[in-house]
Chain A
Amino acid sequence: MPKHIVSGLKYLATIELKKKGLTQQKIADELEIDRSTVSHYLNGRNISFHCINVAETMTQLSSKDFLILTHSLFKNAEITQKIISICQSKVFKAEVLDTCIGCGLCVDLCLMQAINLEYLKANINSIKCCGCLLCQEGCPTNSIKVLEV
């Protein structure tokens, strides 16, 4: 069953990438699947609508739930980051206050690898940020504010 949801998510990602104008081969490379699978997805074959429905439901969950579920399905940070950034359309802006002590906990918590430390202050990449708020919830000094824009 988890495998089917993974396929559903890859299907959704394939559709999104196609909309952006990527070739079938580029999509296949990006999602680490066969080019023929991409072709099947785009022609509406080899995948049940039920899988797609579950995957679509996942994308409508809160950012945190979508991210953690996806990560637990793929068990791989890199592909999780790709799926989330392709399938999620919301945009977030993060602000880090000067009270940040540079403990790096957020860097370690962020599944999207969107955070690095610059001069003992967290620096959050808004393009990579998926708005899961794991960093904001874990910050020991409440120095992170993530807002949807």
Chain B
Amino acid sequence: MVVNTKEVTDKDFNIKRLAEELRNLSFKDHICIGCGICESSCPVSAITVGDMGAIIRNNSPQPKLVIDEHECVLCGICSGVCPADALTFSIANQPISEIPAYPKYNADVEIDDDKCIYCQKCEIACPREAITIARSLPDRSKLVTGEIEIAEDTCVYCGICEELCPADAIDVDRTPEAETINVDKDKCVYCLVCKKSCPVTAIKASCRICSYGDYDINLEDAVTKGSSFIDDELCIKCGWCEGVCPTEAVKVKKPFEGLLKIHQDKCTACGTCVDICPCDVLSFPKPAKSGDIVDNVAKEEQYCIKCGACARACPVEAIEVQISNVDYIPTKSKSWSEKFEALKN
């Protein structure tokens, strides 16, 4: 007898069949975008995607999709067509994305470290929090240099310099008979505010930059260094990172081309699509000035991946998503190629 087993952990699950080779279909709920592509591609109708609007808005304990392990034949098509990699199918512990016989999407994202200035705009814009930009700033004391000295015999420890210092570099202890004053030269930016404000002229300070200008700075000391990391599992190739990057360091290759149409006349502005969109494409527009009439829902189509999750969840069919081209690497399997081709509508 050949039977499938199912292990469920919270909202995630694994469906396995162990015979000639171990076949395993694994589902990760937090990655699933609820687009329903797996449901419509499954050759044995074993997949049911839940009511995404209710699941997302109520933070439901229900998983986004359910697979009947008795119906599932572990072919892996759902995993192949999943645009979010929420379903991973592996044979003998090797994911099919690494097995050449299986077709897969041509999708990619890359940050060019030579161009990246570590501004972190992509990290902030990423709707899936898939990007981490780690950076180490230049040493501030190397960017501004100068000299500062306090004549303790003249200083009256009034604390005016400490209060005014914009860099928090001065520390004055005003305990009677035990007064001290200290300047942290790593923090001091030689702005000379302390010198100008000292009522007893106890501070002598000068800024080298004022005398020598920018020539005094070693350019290498002024560079911010860092590294970028993209979590491939979470990344959905929406292109926000590419769109916001000021140095064109990011390149995103999306698998689908197509159109996102919103029928404003049908839309009831319920906001389900806004909540569901994994790419932060949809939003409620704000009128420029009071009294202006705006659309019910606005779109930033350049960041849309045409997954169709919004159209599927819209209760009044006000959204249409058309896929005109699917970029995938076909293999000899006609049935699999047909499944990829069938995504076009």
* Chain A residues close to B by CB (< 8 Å): 98-105, 107-109, 117, 119-121, 138, 140-141
Contact of A99 among B73, B77, B331, B335 (CB under 8 A): B335
Q: Contact: A101 with B23, CB < 8 Å?
A: no
Q: Contact: A140 with B43, CB < 8 Å?
A: yes
Q: Contact: A107 with B19, CB < 8 Å?
A: yes
Measured in the bound complex, the distance between the Cα atoms of B333 and A100 in whole Å is 8
Q: Contact: A104 with B77, CB < 8 Å?
A: no
Contact of B335 among A101, A105, A107, A108 (CB under 8 A): A101
Asked whether any CB of chain A lies closer than 8 Å to the CB of B332, the reply is yes
Measured in the bound complex, the distance between the Cα atoms of B19 and A109 in whole Å is 9
**Assuming A119-B331, A119-B333, A120-B331, is B20 touching A104 (CB within 8 A)?**
yes
**Assuming A109-B2, A119-B331, A141-B335, is B77 touching A101 (CB within 8 A)?**
yes
Nearest A residue to B103 via CB reads A120
Contact residues of B between 290 and 345, Cβ < 8 Å to A: 331-336
Q: Contact: A108 with B44, CB < 8 Å?
A: no
Query: What residues on B are CB-neighbors of A100 within 8 Å?
Result: 333, 335
Asked whether any CB of chain A lies closer than 8 Å to the CB of B17, the reply is yes
**Assuming A104-B74, A107-B19, is B2 touching A120 (CB within 8 A)?**
no
Query: What residues on A are CB-neighbors of B333 within 8 Å?
Result: 100-102, 119-121
Nearest A residue to B17 via CB reads A108
Closest chain-B Cβ to A97's Cβ sits at a distance in Å of 9
Asked whether any CB of chain A lies closer than 8 Å to the CB of B75, the reply is yes
Q: Contact: B331 with A140, CB < 8 Å?
A: no
Query: What residues on B are CB-neighbors of A141 within 8 Å?
Result: 43, 335
Measured in the bound complex, the distance between the Cα atoms of B73 and A109 in whole Å is 12
**Assuming A119-B101, A140-B44, is B17 touching A101 (CB within 8 A)?**
no
Asked whether any CB of chain A lies closer than 8 Å to the CB of B102, the reply is yes
Measured in the bound complex, the distance between the Cα atoms of B42 and A101 in whole Å is 10
Q: Contact: A120 with B73, CB < 8 Å?
A: no
Query: What residues on A are CB-neighbors of B101 within 8 Å?
Result: 102, 117, 119-120
Measured in the bound complex, the distance between the Cα atoms of B19 and A104 in whole Å is 10
Nearest A residue to B71 via CB reads A140
Closest chain-B Cβ to A95's Cβ sits at a distance in Å of 15
Contact residues of B between 29 and 73, Cβ < 8 Å to A: 43-44, 73
Closest chain-B Cβ to A141's Cβ sits at a distance in Å of 6
Query: What residues on A are CB-neighbors of B43 within 8 Å?
Result: 101, 140-141
Closest chain-A Cβ to B18's Cβ sits at a distance in Å of 9
Could you list 27 A-B pairs, sorted by A, with CB under 8 Å?
A99-B334, A99-B335, A100-B333, A101-B333, A102-B101, A103-B73, A103-B74, A104-B20, A104-B21, A104-B23, A105-B2, A105-B74, A108-B2, A108-B17, A108-B20, A109-B2, A119-B331, A120-B101, A120-B331, A120-B335, A120-B336, A121-B332, A138-B2, A140-B44, A140-B73, A140-B75, A141-B335
Nearest B residue to A103 via CB reads B75
Extra 12 A-B pairs, beta carbons < 8 Å, given A103-B75, A121-B332, A141-B43: A101-B336, A103-B73, A104-B74, A105-B74, A107-B19, A108-B19, A109-B2, A117-B101, A120-B102, A121-B333, A140-B44, A141-B335
Query: What residues on B are CB-neighbors of A105 within 8 Å?
Result: 2, 73-74
Candidate in B2, B74, B77, B331 with the most chain A CB atoms within 10 angstroms: B2
Measured in the bound complex, the distance between the Cα atoms of B21 and A108 in whole Å is 9
Query: What residues on B are CB-neighbors of A103 within 8 Å?
Result: 73-76
Nearest B residue to A138 via CB reads B2
Measured in the bound complex, the distance between the Cα atoms of B332 and A105 in whole Å is 19
Nearest A residue to B77 via CB reads A101
Closest chain-B Cβ to A64's Cβ sits at a distance in Å of 15
Measured in the bound complex, the distance between the Cα atoms of B99 and A117 in whole Å is 13
Closest chain-A Cβ to B40's Cβ sits at a distance in Å of 15
Measured in the bound complex, the distance between the Cα atoms of B77 and A100 in whole Å is 12
Measured in the bound complex, the distance between the Cα atoms of B75 and A105 in whole Å is 8
